[in-house]
Amino acid sequence: MNSPLQVRGLRKSYDGREVIAGIDFSLVRGECFGLLGPNGAGKTTTLRCCLGLTAPDAGDIVLAGEPVPLRAREARAKIGVVPQFDNLDPDFTAAENLLVYGRYFGLRDAEIRPKIAGLLEFAGLGGKEDANIRTLSGGMKRRLTLARALVNDPELLILDEPTTGLDPQARHLIWERLKRLLAQGKTILLTTHFMDEAERLCQHLAIMDAGRIIVQGAPRELIRAQIELQVVEVYGEDAPGWAAREAGKFSQRVEVSGETAFCYVDEAAPVLAQLAGEPQLRTLHRPANLEDVFLKLTGRELRD
């Protein structure tokens, strides 16, 4: 079966600066692929190129079997998109938003109307057909945008930061719905800044920085391959001093950020035993996770 999205040798420059520097990836049908990276890494530009909204300088993109940008319109009619910022029409009700959106894809009202109740139900908005968009919470608007993206029964859904700005309850609900869509055999491409989101949802992910994909793989594989097994986080005013004095004796790698030292170890017992004699410090011992991999590969300094 063909991949729902294949990208080869994608490049894009703005004002002589290459913001996408030759990237390759492809999605596997029925899987969730996560595109991660700090601000400015090139994620949005990549998505825009894939959707035919930004013209690449080089590379081949095949989206839903159609070459992009050549047949971007046809490709977009076969997929669903949830943009980063909700762009629902506030002058229409929830049901009208679905109808108007469906018309963009050439769907007839008679095809869309029977689906509306089911789509709203799926999005946890059952009975909200006549709701005014202005009365919906941020979480409800995001769910309505998800329902809208499903109006053409797409094989692939592309979501740009689907849970940014949502409270924990709303995030969990979106995750649960995305998992249901995966269980139905849909393919998902998402960008996210939340490593727990990527770890929960994605079978495969790519970490981008400065226009390049620096690693790709399954979340568990990346954690195994890129990082020590365990982390001991040490907090307190004296944590940087302790890190300088002691941590190197126990830890292959130590990172200090403010008043926290992160000790990356395969075996935590020796460093925990030493810390038992340092009552001024607090500690947290945990398995290494995707965020540790992300910070190791992209650094801890702020990106604007």
Three-state secondary structure readout of 68-86: ECCCHHHHHHCEEEECCCC
* Min dist. Cβ of residue 16 to ligand ADP (A): 11
8 Å CB contact between 199 and 26: no
* Min dist. Cβ of residue 19 to ligand ADP (A): 3
Closest CB to ligand ADP among residues 300, 303: 303
* Min dist. Cβ of residue 14 to ligand ADP (A): 3
* Min dist. Cβ of residue 247 to ligand ADP (A): 33
Give the 3-state secondary structure of residue 220. Answer: helix
8 Å CB contact between 88 and 141: yes
* Min dist. Cβ of residue 167 to ligand ADP (A): 23
Closest CB to ligand ADP among residues 43, 186: 43
Burial class (CB in 10 A: 0-12, 13-18, 19+), 292: buried
Closest CB to ligand ADP among residues 38, 124: 38
Residue bearing tokens 């399954």 = 218
Binding site for ligand ADP (CB under 6 A): 14, 19, 37, 39-45
Closest CB to ligand ADP among residues 55, 284: 55
Q: What is the CA radius of gyration of the chain?
A: 22
Closest CB to ligand ADP among residues 43, 128: 43
Closest CB to ligand ADP among residues 41, 98: 41
* Min dist. Cβ of residue 85 to ligand ADP (A): 13
Count Cα neighbours of 100 within 13 Å in the Cβ-side half-sphere: 12
Angle formed by the axes of helices 94-104 and 138-149, nearest 10°: 30
CA–CA distances in Å: residue 153 to residues 17, 80, 87, 91, 291: 38, 8, 20, 25, 33
